[in-house]
Amino acid sequence: MSKQLVLEKRTEQGKKLKALRRNGQIPSVVYGGTEPVLTVSEYNVTEKALLDAGYHSSLELMIAGTPQLAIVKNIAIDPVSRRILSIEFQAISADEVVEATTPIKITGFDGSEAAKLHYVILPVLEEVDVKAKPSDLPEELTVDGSGLSSTEDKLTLGDLKLPEGVELADKELELSTVIANVYDPAAEAAAREAEDAKADAGEAEAKSEEDGAKSE
């Protein structure tokens, strides 16, 4: 069941939105109808509704008393305070297949042979677009990293667990696309030290040649 969020229509735009934010409100826009609907809601209530529903799940919006199913299209965040500045909603219907960007979570790596060797997993792809009906949209997709054992291993889109009714939005996306690689921090550090030592030796040799040329 979709979480509910009450929105009121607004007329404020532009610079007047700052006053709304100072008063503890979040301006928003609902797309998908004949025209976008300008809305506003209480900050604390909205933040809780989004956290409860999950940013990638559907919400039932009550816009001036009228129910409308929607998903979050975009959230603007203040880079300093990390507070929500505004939200864009996309109106949808319950039986409509929609696209949503969904985060990828790697599970089980801590118990893998790679972790026991103090290797580290390095995410390459942290989210992917999926298609599903609103009720089937997952909050996240999981991929099992418990079987990783060496720096030759990797996780790919083919390893993703897609729930029933969910598919990748991009049909041309290769299942071999890498989600995460395994690397050895100790080997990386040793390689960097070797490169630094080589660079230092090169600089010392160049300086020695330069000093020799000056003394001639």
Q: What is the pLDDT of residues 72-130, one digit of tens each?
A: 888 999 999 999 999 999 999 888 898 888 899 999 999 999 999 999 999 999 999 99
**CATH superfamily for domain 3-92:** Ribosomal Protein L25; Chain P (2.40.240.10)
Instruction: Please report the pLDDT score of residue 206 as a whole number.
Output: 54
pLDDT of residue 57: 75
> How does DSSP classify residue 205?
H
129-140 mean pLDDT: 89
User: Using CA atoms, how far apart are residues 67 and 124, in angstroms rounded to an integer?
Assistant: 39
For residue 12, how far is the Cα from the chain centroid?
31
Q: Could you tell me what percent of the chain has a pLDDT over 90? A: 59
Tokens of 131: 């298609």
Separation CA 135–CA 199 (nearest Å): 58
pLDDT 10s digits, 21-65? 999 999 999 998 788 999 999 999 999 988 887 776 788 999 988
**For position 125, what pLDDT does the model report?**
95
Chain centroid, CA 116 distance in Å: 28
pLDDT of residue 152: 93
pTM of the model: 0.69
Does the pLDDT at position 170 exceed 70? Answer: yes
Fold of 99-183: RNA Polymerase Alpha Subunit; Chain A, domain 2 (2.170.120)
* Predicted local distance difference test score (pLDDT) of residue 210: 57
> What are the domain boundaries of the chain?
3-92, 99-183, 188-216
SS3 173: coil
